[in-house]
Structure formats: C-alpha cells, structure tokens
C-alpha cells in the first residue's frame, strides 16, 4: 500500500503522481540489479533532471520550482522508496546547491545555478575529512589565495557522488582561525588537480559511490568563493539542517518500502494452513512497523512545515533525522524477520533495505550528534 498523503494542493498531487510514475517504471525495476553490480545510476539522475526534479525547493528564477519543503521532501521519500541510492543522491544534490542558491551573488547564481537546478548536472557536498567527521571544524584542506585563484590542497572524505559529480560544494580552510577560518568554494569537477580515489567498499548503498576527493594544488577561480572568507562552516551547518530533513525523508521511504514488502509477503506466505499475516505475532510486528513509518513521516513533515513558514526548525530537523533513521533501522530489520529465511537471502530486497538503513543513522550527522543538537536547543530555551 503506497503512502497515503495529504498534499496541500493539486499541483503537489500532480507532481507526486509524476514522481510515482517515474519511480515505478524507471527506478524500482533497476534498483536491485544496479545495487548488486555496484553500478552508479547516472542515467536515472539525468532523467530526474529532465523531469525538473533536481532543483525543486529553489527559486524559479534560476531553474527551480519554488516548491515547499513539505512537498519536496515527499518527492524525495517516494524516490527513496523505489531506490534508496537515488533518493539519497537527490537529497545530497539538493543540499549541494544550497550555499550558492542562498548566499551566492546574483552574478554567481545567474552563471552557475540554472545548470545545477534545471539541467542534469549532479552535485556533491564536500565537508568531511578523515579526521574531521562529527568535528567538522577540524577540517584542514587548505585553500591559499593566489591572485585570481585559490590553490587547494587536501583530501575530502566520505563524499557521496565522489568521482561522479559535476561540481563539489567544498569547505576549505582559508585561515587558521578555527571554525571562522573555513570558506566555501563551488568547485568544477573538471578542475585540474582534483581527482577521486577508488570508491569505498560499503555495506549498503552500493549503487551510489562514496569516495575520497583529493585536491592536489587544484586551482579554483576566486569568483567561485561563495559568500565571504570565513563563512564556510556556517553555510555548511545551515545546509545540513535542511539536508538532514532530506535524509529523514529517505529513511521514511526506505521503511515504507520494507513495510510494503513485509505485508505483501505475510499475506501470501502460508504456514499451519493459514497466511502468516493472520498470526497475531506477525500482525503486531507489522502494526508496529506501520506506526514507526507513519510517526516518522509526521515528524519530518512537522519540521518541514516550520521551515516553510520561516520558523526555527533546527531542533525539529534533528529530531526528524533521529526518529526517522532509527525507525528505518528497526522497520527494515523487522521486515527481514517477517520474511524469515527468505528475507535473509538476496533474492528478496529486504536484506538490502536493512543494509541501506544502517548508514542513515550515521551520515549527515550521526544520531549521537543529533542528540547533541537537540540537547543544545533545549539548554538554550
């Protein structure tokens, strides 16, 4: 049973209808094969671009659709339900456009944004380094101003779309002034001196690529600096507040997909002469899964509606990320349980869903960091 949505208007209903059609016909049928083969879904991202889905929450002036987060996130959820790597990729791409869309000059936005939002370019977001994960301010990739260029050296780690992206929204150190010494550069993937290391060998999201991105004296034009020097960490953390809502939506989509598989299987699997869905032990498991999915969805939608109204939403976004990703882990694990031995095999998708769920508790701020954010907000109030 697909998610039952209460959408704000007919435009949103029409959009979700298009997204479901693309998800059902173009994404879901290829997901298992690509993930098994570790094959990056580049063409699928191009299709999203042609369908106008790569810049939804940004201004129409630069190729976006001025869409609310409330609706955009439900698009992400539907795509993640069909194919998690593509849903996560859409969320990461959208986050990668945020710094320029929000803080770029009109000249920069006119020049770069239309292809990022309305074309089929794919973005990456380069903040983490091997020693600077949760402690992002410890990053050390160095950018030195040299006339009209920055010379960038250092290694970014855990970069979704590393080696596949067309641009990297990259946080670099421009001074030794701790968190205030970080700046944001929009780096073209074709920049000489920029290379991607071989992709990480991951537990899940094997169709998506995650790699270190190495800057070795890469020369980046200074007009690709977003905002002023020193603004980078603030932009990065602001982008993450919205980005983690995207991850919450992906987690809900994944959990919904696992629930749908579990219900379908339990209805047709018969033991002791009746469908296992009629045993209360399974009924309660499924009911708890549905409760987890729908409460997680309500949580991210609440945060999104606050964001859309210009209200503070940092606490709510962290709560949504924490609740939705923990729900995804639990629901996908229980889906494997419902399918029993079949669920543990790669002939059914739920073991993949379970592997994919794990990383949602880790990336874009571990769930421990989410608790830090939530607690900080509580102490402030």
Partner 1 sequence: MPNIVVLVKQVPDTYSERRLSDSDHTLDRDSADAVLDEINERAVEEALLIKEAQGGEVTVLSVGPDRATEAIRKALSMGADKAVHVSDPALHGSCVIQTSKVIAAAVGKVDGVDLVIAGNEATDGRSGAVPAILAELLGYPQLTHARKVVIEGTTIKVTRETDEGLTHLEASLPAVVSVGEKINEPRYPSFKGIMAAKKKPVETLTVADLGIDAGEVGLASATSTVVEAAPKPPRAAGQKVEDEGDGGAKIAEYLVGQKLI
The binding site for partner 1 (CB under 8 A) comprises 11, 14-15, 18, 21-22, 26, 47, 50-53, 56, 65
The one catalytic residue among 164, 229, 261, 364? 364
Question: Which residue, 53 or 116, is less far from partner 1 as judged by CB?
Answer: 53
Q: How far is the CB of 119 from partner 1 (least distance, A)?
A: 12
Q: How far is the CB of 50 from partner 1 (least distance, A)?
A: 7
Q: How far is the CB of 15 from partner 1 (least distance, A)?
A: 5
Question: Which residue, 51 or 151, is less far from partner 1 as judged by CB?
Answer: 51
- 3-state per-residue secondary structure call for the chain: CCCCCCCCCHHHHHHHHHHHHHHHHHHHHHHHHHHHHCCCCHHHHHHHHHCCCCCCCCCHHHCCCCCCHHHHHHHHHHHHHHCHHHHHHHHHHHHHCHHHHHHCCHHHHHHHHHHHHCCCCCEEEECCECCECCCHHHCCCEEEEECCEEEEEEEEEEEECCCCCCEEEEEEECCCCHHHHEEEEEEECCCCCEEECCCCCCCCCCCCCEEEEEEEEEEEEHHHEECCCCCHHHHHHHHHHHHHHHHHHHHHHHHHHHHHHHHHHHHHCEECCEEHHHCHHHHHHHHHHHHHHHHHHHHHHHHHHHHHCCCCCHHHHHHHHHHHHHHHHHHHHHHHHHHHHHHHCCCCCHHHHHHHHHHHCCCCCCHHHHHHHHHHHHHHC
Question: Which residue, 11 or 347, is less far from partner 1 as judged by CB?
Answer: 11
Question: Which residue, 26 or 77, is less far from partner 1 as judged by CB?
Answer: 26
Q: How far is the CB of 65 from partner 1 (least distance, A)?
A: 6
Catalytic-residue membership of 364:
yes
Catalytic residue set: 364
């Amino acid at each position: 049973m697909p998610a039952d949505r209460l959408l704000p208007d007919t435009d949103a209903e029409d959009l979700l209808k298009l997204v479901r059609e693309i998800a059902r016909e173009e994404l879901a049928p290829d997901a298992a094969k690509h993930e098994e083969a570790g094959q990056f879904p580049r063409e699928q991202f191009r299709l999203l671009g042609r369908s106008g889905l790569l810049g939804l929450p940004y201004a129409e002036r630069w190729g976006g659709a001025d869409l609310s987060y409330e609706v955009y996130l439900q698009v992400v959820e539907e795509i993640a339900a069909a194919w998690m790597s593509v849903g996560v990729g859409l969320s990461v791409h959208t986050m990668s456009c945020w710094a320029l869309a929000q803080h770029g000059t009109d000249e920069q936005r006119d020049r770069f944004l239309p292809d990022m939002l309305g074309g089929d370019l794919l973005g990456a977001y380069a903040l983490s380094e091997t020693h600077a994960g949760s402690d992002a301010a410890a990053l050390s990739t160095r950018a030195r101003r040299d006339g009209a260029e920055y010379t960038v050296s250092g290694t970014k780690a855990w970069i979704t779309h590393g080696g596949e992206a067309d641009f990297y929204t990259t946080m670099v150190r421009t001074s030794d002034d701790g968190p205030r010494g970080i700046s944001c550069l929009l780096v073209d993937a074709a920049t000489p001196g920029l290379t991607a290391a071989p992709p990480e060998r991951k537990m899940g999201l094997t169709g998506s690529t995650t790699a270190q991105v190495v800057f070795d004296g890469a020369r980046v034009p200074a007009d690709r600096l977003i905002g002023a020097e020193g603004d980078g960490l603030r932009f990065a953390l602001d982008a993450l507040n919205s980005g983690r809502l995207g991850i919450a939506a992906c987690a809900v989509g994944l959990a919904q997909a696992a629930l749908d598989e579990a219900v379908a299987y339990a209805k047709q699997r018969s033991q002791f002469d009746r469908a296992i869905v009629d045993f209360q032990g399974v009924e309660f498991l499924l009911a708890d899964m549905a409760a987890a999915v729908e409460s997680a969805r309500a949580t991210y939608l609440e945060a999104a509606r606050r964001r859309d109204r210009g209200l503070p939403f940092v606490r709510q976004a962290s709560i949504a990320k924490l609740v939705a990703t923990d729900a995804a882990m639990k629901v996908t694990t229980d889906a494997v349980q419902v399918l029993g031995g079949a669920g543990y095999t790669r002939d059914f998708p739920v073991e993949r869903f379970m592997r994919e769920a794990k990383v949602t508790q880790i990336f874009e701020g571990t769930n421990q960091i989410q608790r830090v954010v939530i607690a900080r907000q509580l102490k402030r109030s």
